[in-house]
Amino acid sequence: YEITNNTTSILSKSSEFSYIIVGGGTAGECSVDYPSLTIANRLTVNPNISVLVIEAGRNLRDDPRITDPGSFGVADYSDLEWDYVSTNQSLGNRSQALTVGKVLGGSSAINGMQWTRGTAAQYDALEKLGNPGWNFDSMQKRYMKKSERFHKPTLNQTNLGVTFQPSAHGLNGRVSTGFPNPYPCPLCNLWDVLIQASSAVFPGIRTTGEIDQCSGDPRGVSRCSYSIIPGSDSDLEAGENIRSSSAESYVYSLSPNDRPNLHILVEHKAVNIVWNEHPDLPPSARGVAFQAESDPSQSFLAIVQKEVIVSLGALSSAPFLERSGVGDRNLLENLDISVTADLPAVGTNLQDQAGIFSLFDASFMMNTTNHAPAAGAAAFVTLPQILGSKGAEAYVQDLKHSLQQRAQRIVDTGGLTSFEGASKVLEIQFEQIGTENAPVVELDFIALPASSAFAASTWILLPQYRGNIHITSNDPRIVPAKDFTLVVNASLATRKLFTQPSVKNLYSLELLPGLTVQTPEDFTAYVFANYSAVGHFIGTVPMLPQSLGGAVDAELKVYGVKGVRVADASILPIQLSAHLQSTVYGIAEKAAEMILNEYEKGRREEM
């Protein structure tokens, strides 16, 4: 394979590729990798199959900010990120920095590496929403586990409090996962105290047993697992744990002479799809126009034989489609973009999981010698655990009675295009929160490396708001609905947890929210003034029937055109009680399988 920023080096050999993948991020590389598996091995030796990946970020293979898991939250990532900023939000009248990765490996190269999955019912909900074949059984067994090479915890790690379920993990995939080794104790004491204190604050929360945040039931509080290559047991050398980004897992780990048919062009921005127009057929992708990041006046065109796979992430895939003439007709015509497909769903349904930070000055320095991720344990908390059973019942009743009104508001504010679709997704979320008791809040316990501070990051998991992102303006509006009640309550619960006597012993001062924040009103004001986006963006090219406001079908094909699929976090129509990367890898594995099956079918038909 080759990775280069030199367009001539790539286009001089061929300007035509079987598949062009725009975006070399978390999902993009997975699609590239699939050819290493059985059927596809045959394909890659076929010189007619070639793949071009176009990635705007740089190839920074050995940058310690990426490779060292201890860098997250400490190192300056500003040159590895896109500088998306939202418009002022309806809540708090503030804009938000929207962080996503701009580097080969995408967000998987700069994320917090936590390795978790949603509840089984949340994947089943994809099927209920009209996407045949998208359910937990198949996502977990065939795709999410397939992407994973889990390192079972050592005896030492389990003795130190790590829990897991063997059946929740894949052992033969490419993304290395597991627990840091050596395990970052003496912080274990901190995690143990926080885990115990959680049970005092969140009645009934699981703190023992084989809790595994990848099992389909993440409820409870337990130690985090990560997308890392754990260090060896004996060697205490710094740098032993290494981040396993998608670039590390799917590209760098290949032998350099492997895959001469894989071309990765970095530092180039994909601008739009160029189309073949037929009088009687839907437009089909002819190629991708792209430009050098260093000199946008230099434009190039790569031709595609089969398909363009759009994997630019939830903030860039929809704008790319709109620049390609796929989007809302009025919006495109106002911008003088020729309309290839009138698909108003593109760019709607943006969701993140708004969060808030608490910070404490501890009486000891955090151990940072073994380059382990900073988050040690995470609590996935249900509604009754946050609000008590009466409070939860009242909240659920309110969700039920306001459902139609909220669905209408989502449509009115450009969050989804179909009232029926909005009602359906809200009903499904209502079931998850009210009946299935899915976690609605996550608390991460974090030791800030090279400091004496530790923190809790608290965020809502299943937002009811919907925003949008369009090329006219970068406008992801957040409609608060009921969610901020939960952030405020979660923030109050975090304070309660950190004032349990056992936890209080561990720090001398609460730095954030700080002692001026005392009453529920203070907390509400604090949350409104300080909540932030957490980087878990989804939904802007929703996988739903078109009549319900979808932009891609269950095969990830964009409605109204041929030869274009979207495979990244954009296609998820609803949030999960989870961090997203494991699911995005699963989406990409499934996409790769569908693409290759179709390729094979086409070949058989040609013969």
Phi, psi torsion values for 471, nearest 5 degrees = -75, -20
**209, 185 Cβ separation under 8 angstroms:** no
Question: Shortest gap between Cβ of 72 and ligand FAD (angstroms)?
Answer: 8
Q: How far is CA 314 from CA 256, 468, 563, in A?
A: 31, 10, 20
Regarding 213 and contact with ligand FAD (CB under 6 A), the answer is: no
Regarding 376 and contact with ligand FAD (CB under 6 A), the answer is: no
Regarding 112 and contact with ligand FAD (CB under 6 A), the answer is: yes
In terms of CB distance, is 385 or 581 closer to ligand FAD? 581
Question: Shortest gap between Cβ of 539 and ligand FAD (angstroms)?
Answer: 11
Q: Which stretch binds ligand FAD (CB under 6 A): 9-17, 102-110, 427-435, 476-484?
A: 102-110
**309, 565 Cβ separation under 8 angstroms:** yes
Q: Before 182, cis peptide (omega within 30)?
A: yes
Task: Kindly tell me which residue out of 313, 325, 439, 476 binds ligand FAD, with binding defined by CB under 6 A.
Answer: 313
Segment 49 to 78, residues that bind ligand FAD, using CB under 6 A? 54-57
Question: Shortest gap between Cβ of 246 and ligand FAD (angstroms)?
Answer: 7
Q: Copy the structure tokens of residue 496.
A: 């309660």
Q: Which stretch binds ligand FAD (CB under 6 A): 250-258, 311-319, 335-343, 510-518?
A: 311-319
Regarding 480 and contact with ligand FAD (CB under 6 A), the answer is: no
CA 599, chain centre distance (Å): 28
Task: Kindly tell me which residue out of 3, 27, 264, 552 binds ligand FAD, with binding defined by CB under 6 A.
Answer: 27
Question: Shortest gap between Cβ of 42 and ligand FAD (angstroms)?
Answer: 27
In terms of CB distance, is 488 or 541 closer to ligand FAD? 541
Q: What is the DSSP string of 539-597?
A: -SS-BS-GGGT-SB-TT-BBTTSBSEEE-SGGG-SS--SS-SHHHHHHHHHHHHHHHHH
In terms of CB distance, is 106 or 476 closer to ligand FAD? 106
Q: Give the integer Cα–Cα distance in Å for 161 and 175.
A: 24
Q: Before 513, cis peptide (omega within 30)?
A: yes
First to last CA, the chain: 29
Q: Before 449, cis peptide (omega within 30)?
A: no
Q: What is the dihedral of CA 303, 306, 307, 308, to 10 degrees?
A: -20
Question: Shortest gap between Cβ of 399 and ligand FAD (angstroms)?
Answer: 26
Task: Kindly tell me which residue out of 86, 316, 349, 457 binds ligand FAD, with binding defined by CB under 6 A.
Answer: 316
Residues 6+ apart with CB under 8 A from 414: 348, 468, 477
Residue 214-253 contact track with ligand FAD, rule CB under 6 A, x = bound: ----------------------------------------
Task: Kindly tell me which residue out of 269, 406, 466, 590 binds ligand FAD, with binding defined by CB under 6 A.
Answer: 269
Regarding 491 and contact with ligand FAD (CB under 6 A), the answer is: no
Question: Shortest gap between Cβ of 508 and ligand FAD (angstroms)?
Answer: 29
Residue with tokens 């009115």: 412
Residues 6+ apart with CB under 8 A from 85: 95, 96, 97, 98, 474
Task: Specify the amino acid at residue 503.
Answer: V
Per DSSP, what are the bridge partners of residue 173?
none
Q: Is 536 marked active-site? A: yes
Regarding 266 and contact with ligand FAD (CB under 6 A), the answer is: no
In a 3-state reduction of DSSP, which class is residue 320? helix
CA 395, chain centre distance (Å): 28
Q: Which stretch binds ligand FAD (CB under 6 A): 178-186, 336-344, 574-582, 592-600?
A: 574-582
Q: Is 470 marked active-site? A: no
Q: For ligand FAD, which residue has the nearest CB?
A: 25
Question: Shortest gap between Cβ of 271 and ligand FAD (angstroms)?
Answer: 7
Query: How many residues bind ligand FAD, per CB under 6 A?
Result: 39
Q: What is the DSSP string of 382-421?
A: -HHHHHHHHHHHHHHHHHHHTHHHHHHHHHHTTS-S-HHH
Binding region for FAD: 103
Q: Which stretch binds ligand FAD (CB under 6 A): 94-102, 214-222, 349-357, 456-464?
A: 94-102
Task: Kindly tell me which residue out of 21, 270, 455, 487 binds ligand FAD, with binding defined by CB under 6 A.
Answer: 270
Q: Copy the structure tokens of residue 25.
A: 């991020």
Per DSSP, what are the bridge partners of residue 362?
507
Regarding 144 and contact with ligand FAD (CB under 6 A), the answer is: no
- Catalytic residue numbers, as ranges: 536, 579
Site of interaction with ligand FAD (CB under 6 A): 22-27, 54-57, 99-102, 106-108, 110-114, 269-270, 311-314, 316, 320, 535-536, 568-569, 579-582, 584
